[in-house]
């Protein structure tokens, strides 16, 4: 949430290698979305309304508060939070409000509740008051990924890329963010638990990322969000760094790139079954000056209006948005692309 020159971030009160020392909703702020400073707690302790709901349903609340998400409605800031229990599917999403981002915050009741006697998803991640619904899939330490669907009405029904109702028991796309690795880094897993926000007309996505070398660290990632011509959101393959977004010329496109296609392996289950993060690893893509790529004359590419189209021998076609960004693995500016192919699969790339 942006206010008076600063972005404010509200986060889960987790500690690495230690028990929760102080339950509550942590607050950080940044003037540039890159450097963040801890400013305290929006709410100290576990909100009593959610705690009481869990106890009344014979549960034991966990020690911390999860997944806060903030919006502004009129002159009021609404901060939604999740309180989980040690028992499966016994959770609550509650609401606290304030007139200022710095509080004080007042409990306003429970918005969504769940329990294991009702067939429904766990009430952990709140739904945005938007026509686009962003959902975190799979186990949060490994395969955690973000899907998006959209609806004509805020109450749904919501449909995926293939116009399938997401309430159906099936795998839905597009998957716009998932565990990945570019060369020079072990990669990131657990890449979900997202919040979408905007500054002026530019949208961003914030989410957790867990380094592949140790899944118990949780880092904040912020990425630019872009939009395909047919209205689907896609996100940058690299974290935001404030690089000047000057246009990319056609002459800059030829050369070697790193290329990631978000393939996905369905693994039913949860933490016990989803032990492999299924990291999507980059491969080399070579765009040639003669508008072919990967040394195959049947593979053709075109570039116009900052959109790269790659036709893979008339089998699949990638349409990706090209822009400048920061190569976090090589610590230098580069050119990035993000988009979907004709099957709704996310395609990422960056120039070497």
* pLDDT tens per residue, range 82-140: 998 988 889 999 999 999 999 999 999 999 998 877 665 655 555 654 589 999 999 99
* Residue-level pLDDT at 130: 57
300 contacts 313 by C-beta, under 8 angstroms: no
Residue 118: inside a domain, yes or no? yes
Domain ranges, residue 2: 1-126
Distance separating alpha carbons of residues 346 and 184, to the nearest angstrom: 22
Q: 178: which residues sit within 8 A by CB, 6+ positions away? A: 143, 145, 146, 191, 262, 264, 278, 280, 346
**Which parts of the chain sit beneath pLDDT 50?**
129
* Residue-level pLDDT at 88: 80
* Residue-level pLDDT at 129: 47
72 contacts 117 by C-beta, under 8 angstroms: no
**CATH number of the domain enclosing 17:** 2.115.10.20
What's the domain count of the chain? 1
Residue 17: inside a domain, yes or no? yes
Question: Helical H runs in the chain?
Answer: 48-56
Q: Is 315 exposed, middle or buried (0-12, 13-18, 19+ CB in 10 A)?
A: exposed
Residue 163: inside a domain, yes or no? no
Residue 191: inside a domain, yes or no? no
Q: Is the whole-model pTM more than 0.75?
A: yes
Residue 117: inside a domain, yes or no? yes
* Residue-level pLDDT at 118: 67
* Residue-level pLDDT at 149: 95
Q: What is the C-alpha radius of gyration for the chain, rounded to an integer number of angstroms?
A: 21
3-state secondary structure of 157: coil
Cα 19 from chain centroid (whole Å): 26
Residue 338: inside a domain, yes or no? no
* Residue-level pLDDT at 20: 66
* pLDDT tens per residue, range 184-227: 999 999 999 999 999 988 999 999 999 999 998 899 999 999 99
* Residue-level pLDDT at 124: 57
3-state helix, strand, coil in the chain (%, to 5): 5, 45, 50
């Amino acid at each position: 949430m942006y206010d008076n020159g600063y972005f404010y971030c509200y986060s889960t009160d987790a500690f690495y290698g230690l028990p929760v020392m102080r339950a509550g909703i942590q607050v950080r702020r940044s003037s540039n979305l890159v450097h963040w400073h801890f400013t305290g707690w929006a709410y100290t302790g576990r909100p009593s309304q959610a705690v009481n709901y869990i106890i009344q349903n014979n549960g034991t609340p966990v020690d911390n508060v999860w997944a806060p998400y903030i919006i502004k409605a009129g002159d009021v800031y609404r901060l939604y939070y999740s309180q989980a229990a040690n028992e499966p599917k016994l959770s609550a999403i509650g609401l606290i409000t304030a007139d200022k981002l710095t509080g004080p915050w007042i409990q306003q009741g429970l918005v969504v509740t769940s329990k294991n006697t009702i067939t429904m998803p766990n009430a952990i991640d709140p739904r945005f008051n938007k026509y686009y619904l962003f959902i975190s899939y799979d186990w949060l330490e490994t395969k955690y990924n973000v899907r998006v669907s959209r609806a004509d009405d805020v109450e749904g029904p919501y449909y995926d890329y293939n116009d399938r109702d997401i309430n159906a028991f099936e795998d839905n796309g597009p998957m716009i963010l998932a565990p990945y690795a570019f060369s020079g880094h072990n990669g990131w897993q657990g890449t979900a638990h997202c919040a979408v926000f905007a500054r002026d007309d530019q949208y961003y996505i914030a989410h957790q990322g867990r380094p592949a070398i140790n899944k118990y660290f949780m880092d904040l990632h912020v990425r630019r969000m872009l939009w395909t011509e047919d209205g689907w959101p896609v996100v940058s393959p690299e974290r935001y760094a404030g690089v000047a977004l000057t246009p990319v010329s056609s002459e800059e496109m030829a050369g070697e790139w790193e290329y990631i296609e978000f393939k996905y392996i369905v693994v039913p289950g949860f933490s016990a079954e989803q032990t492999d993060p299924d990291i999507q690893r980059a491969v080399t893509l070579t765009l040639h000056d003669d508008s072919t790529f990967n040394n195959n004359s049947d593979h053709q590419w075109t570039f116009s209006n900052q959109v790269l189209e790659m036709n893979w021998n008339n089998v699949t076609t990638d349409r990706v948005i090209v822009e400048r960004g920061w190569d976090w693995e090589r610590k230098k500016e580069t050119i990035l692309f993000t988009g979907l192919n004709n099957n709704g699969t996310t395609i990422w790339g960056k120039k070497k």
